[in-house]
Amino acid sequence: MGEILVSMEHICKSFPGVKALDDVHFELRAGEVMALLGENGAGKSTLMKVLSGVYTRDSGRMEIFGKEQGDLTPRQAQELGVAIIHQELNMCRHLSVAENIFLGREKTKFATLSNREMEGEARRILQELKMDLNPQQVVGELPVSKQQMVEIAKALSTNARVLIMDEPTSSLTSREINDLFRIIRELKAKGCGIVYISHRLEELQYIVDRVTIMRDGQFVTSANFRDIGMNEIIANMVGREIKEKFPRVTCQRGKRVFEVKHLNAGRMVRDISFELHEGEIVGFAGLMGAGRTETTRAIFGADPKESGEIMLDGKPVRIRKVADAIRAGIVLAPEDRKKDGLCTKLSLRQNIALPNLDMLCDRMGVVRRNRETTMCTRAVEELMIKTPSIDKDAATLSGGNQQKVVVAKWLARNSRVVMFDEPTRGIDVAAKVEIYHLMNKLKQQGIAVMFVSSEMPEIMGISDRIIVMCDGRITGELSAEEATQEKILTLATQFEKKVAAANE
């Protein structure tokens, strides 16, 4: 086993309101691939951002190449030899491969760029990594996998010995993954240490030497991959205690209201079929990027559909644009309140009225102010939105109240199906409970509720049924009684086996 490249001890890091890292240990040795595992929000990315200088730690020791390090900037970390490849690629699409590799570190001679030298150097690096890339090629014309290789080449051109990869395979095809794994093995052979963050557990067996598992910002365990089974990994990832109490309401499951059949919309929505009944909340669980948001958007008509059928009360509805869905009574409270849910610079009144102007305007298209006032006042009372006046800007409200305004937009009309996408993200506990009560109320009124959440406790606490998605497909369905965190996570990580076939 190689020398220790990175050793992090007792690392703590807090953000306002959250303890993101709590006494975390991490060690990386030369010539090994270390998988860093954990659920969304376990603190994996935060830890790696501390290592790569993006964040500074509150306390703890960090040694890189045997030398203790204080707070680093990204630049310093890079110079030390720590390179991170972010999940979202950061490339200048209009520049060539060589230009991107040397961006910010251009070689010049007499103030003139030495293109030939840089291209030669880039070619040498690419050749060394056995990457089949032309240094003169424009990056924007390359497929994502090749762009990723450019990122790797860029990272290594700085002579990095610690390479952090955050979900590197999520957008790759099986052949591309094989290329990536080949490169990883070569780097390993050269004595680099690689941190590999991935949710695709089935991939680990091909490259990983050791695993470190995190949960809720804490270090759980670290082990040789050979000595730990997949079941043990999953058990360690989830073992999260459920502290909160969830206000579950039981009511009679009624007739089928809503049905989606074989819906396809791009790579993240593939052959989705499910149904919703009166008087039930159906949770949609999965990891981030499982295609749940894309599914709600496709149903809502915000994104184009390729195929599939949507039935309301047994009759097919054609939803080609958002207005069709709203007219049919199928509505969405989107994931990103500030971006998609609200016009934050407008008042509460204008926000609530916006999708309901058809009901508020007279025949001449003039907004009837008293009707608007009635609608908004009623919504504020019913949902107990805390605001001094309906003419306050939506931006001035707290997160929980903003979320209620998003819902209020839809309750003013007789909606049949309400889709909530991560409705409790970023709001405090009391506000969360109010949102749960709100969903329960809708359920009791016979409205079909679809509840997308990445928080396992709440999805298990509130839903009557749980549908699990992974990689754009539904991988299973569990009733509230049979659902456990292990079962959900097992379904949520059922990626299609991309690597198995071609790998040795």
Partner 1 sequence: MQTTRLNPARRFFAIRGMASAMIAFAALIVIYVVFGLSNPNVFSGANIQNLLRSMSKYLIIGIGQSYLLITGNIDLSIGSLVGMSAMISATMMTHGTNPILASLIALACCLTIGLINGLLVGKAQLPPFIATLGTMFVARGVGYMINGNRNTDAIASGIGADAGDRFQNFFYYGKTFGVYNTFLVALVVFIVFFFLLSKTRTGRHIYAIGSNVDAAKLSGVSVFATTTKAYLVSAFCAFVVGLILCAQASMGNMEAGNMYEMYAVAAGVIGGISPLGGTGLLLGTFAGAAVWQTLENGLNMVGAQVGLQRIVIGVIVVFSVLLDVVIRRGARKRSK
Minimum separation from the CB atom of position 54 to partner 1 (A)? 10
Closest CA to 57 of 5, 11, 25: 11
Cβ distance to partner 1 smaller for residue 105 or 175: 105
Minimum separation from the CB atom of position 380 to partner 1 (A)? 35
CB 97 within 8 A of CB 131: no
Minimum separation from the CB atom of position 182 to partner 1 (A)? 15
Burial 260-288 (b: 16+ CB within 10 A, else e): beebebeebbbebebebbbbbbbbbbbbe
CB 307 within 8 A of CB 263: yes
Cβ distance to partner 1 smaller for residue 16 or 104: 104
Minimum separation from the CB atom of position 195 to partner 1 (A)? 19
Cβ distance to partner 1 smaller for residue 293 or 485: 293
Minimum separation from the CB atom of position 129 to partner 1 (A)? 11
Cβ distance to partner 1 smaller for residue 154 or 349: 154
Minimum separation from the CB atom of position 411 to partner 1 (A)? 37
CB 451 within 8 A of CB 463: yes
| Sole residue written with tokens 């001449």 | 364
Instruction: Give the three-class secondary structure for 393.
Output: strand
Cβ distance to partner 1 smaller for residue 3 or 141: 141
Cβ distance to partner 1 smaller for residue 168 or 279: 168
Minimum separation from the CB atom of position 112 to partner 1 (A)? 5
Rg (CA), the chain: 26
Cβ distance to partner 1 smaller for residue 114 or 221: 114
Cβ distance to partner 1 smaller for residue 127 or 252: 127
- State both tokens at 463: 């839903």
State how far the Cα of 26 lies from the Cα of 48, in Å rounded to an integer. 10
Cβ distance to partner 1 smaller for residue 125 or 234: 125
> What residues line the site for partner 1 (CB under 8 A)?
74-75, 90-96, 99-100, 103-106, 108, 111-113, 123, 126-127, 132, 134, 136, 138, 140-144
State how far the Cα of 103 lies from the Cα of 150, in Å rounded to an integer. 12
CA distances from 208 to 35, 43, 203, 302, 423 (A): 6, 20, 9, 40, 36
Minimum separation from the CB atom of position 266 to partner 1 (A)? 9
Dihedral over alpha carbons 356, 357, 361, 366 (to 10 degrees)? 160
Minimum separation from the CB atom of position 400 to partner 1 (A)? 31
Helix 144-157 to helix 174-189 angle, to the nearest 10 degrees?
10
CA dihedral sign, ordered 91, 97, 100, 101: positive
